[in-house]
């Protein structure tokens, strides 16, 4: 009988005094103590076991990731991406002073957008770092997941930390042909929620009626939060054809679904809903011609009847607001703006906004018109409510809220929006410009870029510290046209300190402008690196 | 050779950083902003002026063939953030570091290095040079004295192991780490650092989770085997005796015949161990087919001096050390700077990898792992939460070592594979397979997993 490894372990665990090794162990090491003989035998066993190791059976092989047909990144762009991702962990330790080197993390969203515009495939080796980055920053997720493509999704299934990728944008899931009804039906009934939303969007783009039928087929059995999301996805490509479905949804079980349906309907000025709202709203607003200057008078609704409630008007105001003005706001917001021209003496939007309003209803009425302009994406009204950019924000017509102004701005065409903000900055400086700049198209149009740089230059000459403008500086780094770098070079010199300036400010400004110029150069380089290589030198592909 | 082609990648540069803080600081400086007067020449020299907080910019010079660094900043980190930033800038291939002639301020340092490189290899290229050659009689006497001390240490260790086995390993769990620490200190006194290291490792096993008695018995038995081998070293054949001397901790010098070859740099990784960082660089000789391991050590706060970018090939001489399967080598003269290389070494299936490890144990039974290249394997998550590398036919598989699980490298491997066969270089041993580098037919990249 030969001693097994288990016997040796037992003997070693208990000690040879208590459990002596078997005779054959002792016989093989003649003249040695039991512990030594045990060690001899264990050494032999160990080396023999290691030398004779055999592979084990494989677990089931995974389904390979779907093929990604997009072209690979040019080499320089691949290195740049690795670089941007490597810097990711570093920025939190930056502290107050930002130094003269660009903030690479902030460039990642731009890089991803540009790479996606070229429709490049993400290099496999960066996917883990990319998914980690997207996990930490939700704003990166849509672009990162599109870039990561089917391989990224495949990988995310294996790591619970990347589960967000399966919920979020269905980056690159292979959707069936919208014209293939069987495949569409199968995915619609069996797919993940994100896949179904994407499917609905694809079918809708291809054939709106088929999409409506698809949605109606399972509508009653969907969960309330899913109904809300599906409804929300109709925002893209909303048209009069959607009216019957939305009208139906006005009597949904869920209040959120009802109010979203009402909101969508109010963006369709030709709908029956819009007509109902127009009727209700116009009974509340009149033009008083009896006084010297034509004036708007407001008679807010006295009750919120069942019909209004069915059309999504919420009867209970938030605390601190009167219920009648709350109802009025909702009616005006949902009524088509065209109704006011007819109602108020064939005036244009600008003329209407300029009319005086009796009894302090002006703020309420203008705020509701702002919401309506945003909802109905009406540039004429947006322009009227914004007023000329040179008017001081607090005194103009329309709204003085920066959040509402930036929403209104986003309705204007790109060029007009940039000009408006440029004139605003020229007139009022940078202190209130941050939110407005955020809605301007990147890269900034030339007049806007010049206005921002001039304003920064003025702020420097005024002797303040650059970190008072760090928000705008950061935006400028990301949004200025990279072609401006050379023109800005002169600003990087350390100026003579003017009388009364904050001590040392000149040096900090120079540093801030250096970072601005360096970031612009870097962005230009990034953009150039992403240009497709003329002849792919890669023999393996 | 195209200049652009010689440039390293950002990952390769960042691998040089001595710590995370330097890596971040270096990455911040890796943009054109603070730099001026930068340039590089065809032979691997890179230089630039970096604007710091002072009035005069720092002068930073790197010789990438070394690599070696020189910077006028006062940082004690090595390489400093300026050197890292400069290399990043260079690796990005922008116009901030164009091809240029060496400026006057960089010339003396570079010329000094070149002169040393051509006029015979620099002294102590890789730490611990051989003892001063003095009186050979005295040297022999010193060696005998040390051997006698080691013998006394080995006998004491034998005694302790026997006591341990007599009382039972279960007691070792209770006696805690102190006993082992004390024994390790005795082995240091006995000038047997190899034995001291093994004893320290033994002390960590009782706390290493389920199955520890088996592992402890295995390692005790192998330590016993090493003791016995040392005590009877006169009766061992020469190669095995050399292995035993190396394992016990006697330093030998690389005395084998130098092998000149085009060495592919397969992997580079650091293991921090208290005050010392050990860097391992795996090379594969294209013509000789040999695999070589270069070791380099760095004290706290310093990256080990040796750095060869993974995914390059360098024409150089490697001189093997005696013993332990003659894997370890010393890098001799380099005849070219490292140039990019996408080829992978020839490899085999998982059964072949284990067989290679088994064969290597014949020459060195204390080996924990052996360098192998697996071709046509697929990384597979296994039901227990671990990972495997499976042959593409789905028959056999090797487990991935616990140490490699959970690191970013494993996810990179999974991503590069995408469920399709890849080639993987790594270390295969009784604990499983540690993947170090991967190649996929889908991409031309060499992907480091460390």
Q: Is residue A67 very low, low, confident or very high in pLDDT (cuts 50, 70, 90)?
A: confident
Q: What would the pLDDT profile of B285-297 be if each residue is shown by its tens digit?
A: 988 888 999 988 8
Q: Is residue A34 very low, low, confident or very high in pLDDT (cuts 50, 70, 90)?
A: confident
pLDDT at residue number A377: 85
- Which position has the higher pLDDT, B215 or B34? B215
pLDDT at residue number A87: 64
A47 with B365: Cβ contact below 8 A = yes
A76 with B430: Cβ contact below 8 A = no
Residues of A in contact with B354 (CB under 8 A): 53-55
Residues of A in contact with B27 (CB under 8 A): 83, 86-87, 90, 104
Cβ-count burial of B437 within 10 angstroms (0-12 exposed, 13-18 middle, 19+ buried)? buried
> Among all residues of chain B, which has the CA nearest to that of A538?
B444
Q: What would the pLDDT profile of A382-395 be if each residue is shown by its tens digit?
A: 888 888 888 776 66
- Which position has the higher pLDDT, A242 or B224? B224
> Among all residues of chain B, which has the CA nearest to that of A83?
B10
pLDDT at residue number A540: 45
* pLDDT surpassing 70 at residue B262: yes
A33 with B224: Cβ contact below 8 A = no
Interchain contact A82–B (C-beta under 8 A)? yes
* pLDDT surpassing 70 at residue B417: yes
pLDDT at residue number B289: 87
Average pLDDT, chain B: 83
A51 with B24: Cβ contact below 8 A = no
- Which position has the higher pLDDT, B122 or A522? A522
> Among all residues of chain A, which has the CA nearest to that of B447?
A125
- The backbone torsions φ and ψ at residue B340, rounded to the nearest 5 degrees and listed phi first, read -60, 150
pLDDT at residue number B374: 93
How close A128 gets to chain B, by Cα (Å)?
A: 6
Residues of B in contact with A39 (CB under 8 A): 161-162, 165, 220-221, 224
Q: Is residue A93 very low, low, confident or very high in pLDDT (cuts 50, 70, 90)?
A: very low
Residues of B in contact with A540 (CB under 8 A): 441, 443-444
Interchain contact A224–B (C-beta under 8 A)? no
A83 with B217: Cβ contact below 8 A = no
Least confident residue range of A265-269, B52-56, B235-239: B52-56
- Which position has the higher pLDDT, A446 or A533? A446
* Average pLDDT score over residue span A85-113: 67
How close B423 gets to chain A, by Cα (Å)?
A: 14
Least confident residue range of A401-410, A441-450, B14-23, B368-377: B14-23
Interchain contact A151–B (C-beta under 8 A)? yes
Residue A493: partners with Cβ closer than 8 Å, 6 or more residues away: A510
How close B178 gets to chain A, by Cα (Å)?
A: 20
pLDDT at residue number B218: 92
Bond preceding residue B450 cis, omega within 30 of 0: no
* pLDDT surpassing 80 at residue A175: no
Average pLDDT, chain A: 82
pLDDT at residue number B176: 65
How close A59 gets to chain B, by Cα (Å)?
A: 6
The total number of residues shown for chain B amounts to 450
* Average pLDDT score over residue span B74-97: 80
* pLDDT surpassing 90 at residue B338: no
pLDDT at residue number A99: 65
pLDDT at residue number A171: 44
* Average pLDDT score over residue span A403-414: 86
A9 with B24: Cβ contact below 8 A = no
* pLDDT surpassing 50 at residue B124: no
* pLDDT surpassing 60 at residue B125: no
pLDDT at residue number B130: 45
pLDDT at residue number A399: 62
* Average pLDDT score over residue span A371-377: 86
How close B323 gets to chain A, by Cα (Å)?
A: 18
B166 with A12: Cβ contact below 8 A = no
* Average pLDDT score over residue span B60-86: 82
Interchain contact A538–B (C-beta under 8 A)? yes
A60 with B380: Cβ contact below 8 A = yes
Distances (CA, A) of A380 to A341, A351, A391, B326: 12, 11, 18, 83
Other C-beta atoms closer than 10 Å to the C-beta of B37 total 15
* pLDDT surpassing 90 at residue A260: no
Residues of A in contact with B162 (CB under 8 A): 33, 35-36, 39
> Among all residues of chain A, which has the CA nearest to that of B412?
A125
B38, B99 in Cβ contact below 8 A?
no
Domain boundaries defined on chain A: 5-51, 75-85+101-167, 181-268, 269-399, 413-533
Q: What would the pLDDT profile of B296-329 be if each residue is shown by its tens digit?
A: 888 766 677 777 888 888 888 898 888 766 788 8
pLDDT at residue number B56: 80
Mutation to test the B interface, candidates A37, A41, A101, A108, most B Cβ within 10 Å: A101
CB pairs A-B closer than 8 Å: 235
* pLDDT surpassing 70 at residue B175: no
Of B213, B214, B388, the CB nearest to A59: B388
* Average pLDDT score over residue span A223-240: 86
- What is the value of ipTM here, to two decimals? 0.78
* Average pLDDT score over residue span A236-257: 86
DSSP single-letter state for residue A234: T
A65 with B418: Cβ contact below 8 A = yes
A39 with B28: Cβ contact below 8 A = no
pLDDT at residue number A501: 64
Q: Which of B32, B153, B8, B163 is nearest to B87 (CA)?
A: B8
- Which position has the higher pLDDT, B346 or B91? B346
> Among all residues of chain B, which has the CA nearest to that of A126?
B412
Of A45, A64, A540, the CB nearest to B441: A540
How close B3 gets to chain A, by Cα (Å)?
A: 14
> Among all residues of chain A, which has the CA nearest to that of B28?
A101
- Which position has the higher pLDDT, A499 or B92? B92
> Among all residues of chain A, which has the CA nearest to that of B411?
A128
Of A35, A47, A86, the CB nearest to B10: A86
- Which position has the higher pLDDT, A1 or B47? B47
Q: Is residue B230 very low, low, confident or very high in pLDDT (cuts 50, 70, 90)?
A: very high
Q: Is residue B358 very low, low, confident or very high in pLDDT (cuts 50, 70, 90)?
A: very high
pLDDT at residue number B301: 63
Interchain contact A72–B (C-beta under 8 A)? yes
* pLDDT surpassing 70 at residue A499: no
Q: What would the pLDDT profile of A304-346 be if each residue is shown by its tens digit?
A: 888 888 888 888 888 888 888 899 988 898 888 888 888 888 7
3-state class (DSSP) for residue A50: helix
B376-412: b or e for each residue (b if 16 or more CB lie within 10 Å)?
A: bbbbbbbeeebbbbbbeeeebbbbbbeebeeeebbbb
For chain A, percent of residues with pLDDT exceeding 90: 4
Q: What would the pLDDT profile of B200-210 be if each residue is shown by its tens digit?
A: 888 888 888 88
Interchain contact A123–B (C-beta under 8 A)? yes
């Amino acid at each position: 009988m030969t001693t097994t490894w288990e016997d040796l372990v037992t003997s070693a665990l208990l000690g040879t005094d208590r459990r002596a090794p078997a005779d054959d162990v002792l016989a093989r090491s003649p003249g040695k103590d039991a512990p030594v003989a045990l060690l001899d035998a264990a050494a032999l066993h160990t080396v023999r076991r290691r030398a004779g190791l055999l592979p084990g059976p494989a677990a089931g092989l995974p389904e390979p990731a779907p093929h990604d047909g997009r072209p690979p990144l040019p080499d320089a762009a691949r290195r740049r991406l690795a670089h941007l991702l490597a810097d990711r962990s570093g920025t939190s330790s930056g502290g107050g002073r930002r130094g003269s080197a660009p903030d690479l993390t902030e460039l990642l969203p731009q890089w991803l957008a540009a790479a996606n515009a070229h429709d490049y495939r993400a290099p496999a080796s960066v996917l883990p770092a990319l998914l980690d980055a997207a996990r930490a920053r939700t704003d990166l997720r849509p672009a990162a997941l599109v870039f990561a493509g089917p391989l990224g999704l495949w990988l995310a299934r294996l790591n619970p930390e990347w589960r967000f990728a399966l919920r979020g944008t269905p980056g690159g899931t292979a959707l069936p042909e919208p014209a293939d009804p069987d495949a569409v039906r199968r995915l619609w009934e069996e797919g993940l929620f994100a896949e179904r939303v994407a499917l609905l969007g694809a079918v809708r783009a291809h054939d709106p009626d088929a999409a409506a039928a698809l949605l109606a087929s399972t509508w009653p059995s969907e969960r309330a939060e899913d109904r809300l999301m599906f409804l929300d996805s109709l925002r893209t490509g909303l048209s009069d054809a959607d009216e019957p479905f939305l009208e139906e949804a006005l009597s949904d079980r869920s209040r959120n679904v009802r109010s979203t349906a009402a909101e969508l309907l109010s963006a369709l000025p030709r709908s029956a809903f819009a007509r109902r709202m127009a009727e209700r709203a116009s009974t509340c607003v009149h033009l008083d011609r009896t006084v010297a200057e034509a004036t708007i008078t407001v008679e807010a609704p006295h009750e919120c009847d069942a019909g209004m409630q069915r059309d999504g008007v919420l009867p209970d105001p938030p605390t601190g607001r009167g219920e009648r003005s709350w109802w009025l706001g909702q009616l005006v917001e949902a009524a088509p703006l065209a109704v006011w021209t007819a109602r108020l003496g064939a005036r244009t939007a600008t003329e209407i906004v300029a009319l005086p309003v009796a009894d302090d209803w002006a703020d309420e009425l203008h705020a509701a018109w702002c919401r309506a302009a945003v909802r109905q994406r009406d540039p004429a009204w947006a322009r009227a409510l914004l007023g000329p950019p040179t008017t001081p924000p607090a005194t103009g017509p329309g709204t003085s809220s920066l959040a509402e102004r930036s929403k209104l701005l986003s309705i204007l065409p790109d060029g007009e929006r940039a000009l408006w903000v440029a004139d605003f900055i020229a007139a009022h400086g940078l202190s209130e410009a941050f939110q407005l700049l955020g809605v301007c198209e990147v890269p900034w149009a030339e007049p806007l870029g010049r206005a921002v740089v001039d304003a920064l230059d003025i702020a420097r000459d005024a002797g303040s510290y650059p970190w008072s403008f760090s928000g705008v500086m950061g935006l400028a780094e990301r949004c200025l046209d990279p072609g401006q770098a050379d023109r800005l070079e002169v600003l990087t010199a350390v100026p003579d300190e003017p009388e009364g300036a904050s001590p040392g400010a000149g040096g900090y400004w120079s540093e801030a402008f250096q970072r601005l110029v360096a970031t612009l150069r870097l962005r230009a380089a990034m953009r150039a690196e992403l240009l497709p290589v003329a002849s792919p030198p890669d023999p393996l592909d | 050779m195209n200049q652009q082609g010689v440039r390293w990648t950002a990952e390769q540069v960042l691998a040089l950083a001595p710590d995370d803080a330097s890596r971040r600081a270096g990455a911040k400086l890796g943009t054109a902003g603070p730099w001026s007067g930068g340039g590089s020449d065809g032979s691997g020299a890179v230089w630039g002026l970096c604007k710091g907080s002072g009035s005069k910019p720092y002068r930073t010079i790197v010789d990438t063939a070394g690599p070696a660094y020189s910077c006028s900043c006062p940082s004690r980190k090595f390489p400093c953030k300026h050197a890292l930033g400069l290399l990043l800038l260079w690796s990005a291939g922008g116009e901030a570091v164009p091809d240029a002639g060496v400026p006057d301020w960089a010339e003396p340092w570079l010329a000094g290095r070149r002169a040393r490189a051509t006029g015979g290899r620099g002294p102590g290229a890789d730490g611990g040079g051989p003892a001063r050659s003095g009186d050979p009689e005295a040297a022999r006497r010193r060696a005998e004295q040390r051997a006698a001390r080691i013998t006394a240490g080995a006998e004491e260790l034998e005694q302790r192991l026997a006591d341990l086995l007599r009382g039972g390993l279960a007691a070792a769990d209770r006696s805690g780490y102190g006993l082992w620490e004390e024994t390790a200190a005795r082995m240091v006194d006995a000038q047997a650092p190899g034995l001291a290291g093994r004893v320290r490792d033994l002390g960590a096993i009782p706390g290493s989770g389920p199955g520890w008695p088996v592992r402890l018995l295995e390692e005790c038995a192998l330590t016993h085997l090493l003791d016995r081998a040392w005590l009877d070293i006169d009766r061992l054949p020469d190669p095995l005796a050399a292995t035993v001397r190396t394992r016990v901790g006697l330093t030998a010098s690389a005395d084998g015949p130098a092998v000149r070859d085009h060495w592919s740099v397969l992997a580079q990784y650091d293991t921090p161990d208290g005050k010392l960082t050990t860097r391992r660089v795996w090379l594969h000789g294209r013509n000789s087919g040999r695999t070589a391991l270069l070791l380099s050590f760095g004290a706290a706060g310093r990256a080990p001096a040796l750095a060869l970018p993974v995914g390059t090939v360098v024409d150089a001489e490697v001189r093997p050390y005696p013993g332990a399967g003659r894997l370890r080598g010393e890098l001799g003269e380099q005849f070219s700077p490292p140039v990019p290389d996408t080829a992978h070494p020839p490899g085999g299936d998982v059964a072949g990898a284990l067989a290679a490890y088994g064969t290597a144990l014949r020459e060195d039974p204390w080996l924990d792992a052996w360098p192998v290249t697996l071709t046509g394997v697929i990384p597979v998550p296994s039901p227990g939460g671990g990972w495997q590398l499976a042959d593409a036919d789905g028959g056999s598989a090797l487990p991935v070592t616990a140490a490699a699980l959970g690191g970013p490298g494993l996810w990179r491997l999974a991503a590069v594979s995408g469920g399709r066969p890849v080639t993987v270089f790594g270390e295969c041993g009784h604990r499983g397979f540690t993947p170090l580098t991967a190649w996929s037919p889908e991409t031309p990249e060499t992907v480091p997993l460390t």
